[in-house]
Amino acid sequence: MANEGSDGERRRYELRRSIQDYGIGGIWFGFGIFLLIAPKIGFTLAVDPFFRYAFSGIWLLYGGWRIYRGYKKNYYR
């Protein structure tokens, strides 16, 4: 019986963390996409195109990793 409370808390924690990972991953991923398409939609950035692509790639990878981590819910293993 005592294990059920702990198991419920664990599931709520995993749900909260996965929602957080989805949200933050979506923000990072969205910002990476924004950097890629910024010149096409009229935003001028004072950054060299090489660095813009490099940072965009890093943010896309990190956002993808956060979304993947939220999907897997591998927080205790």
pLDDT tens across 44-68, in order?
A: 888 888 999 999 999 999 999 999 9
- Chain mean pLDDT for the chain: 87
Long-range CB contacts for residues 65-69, cutoff 8 Å, separation at least 24 = 65/25, 66/21, 66/22, 66/24, 66/25, 66/28, 67/21, 67/22, 67/25, 67/26, 67/29, 68/25, 69/21, 69/25
Query: What's this model's pTM, rounded to 2 decimal places?
Result: 0.77
pLDDT given at position 33 = 95
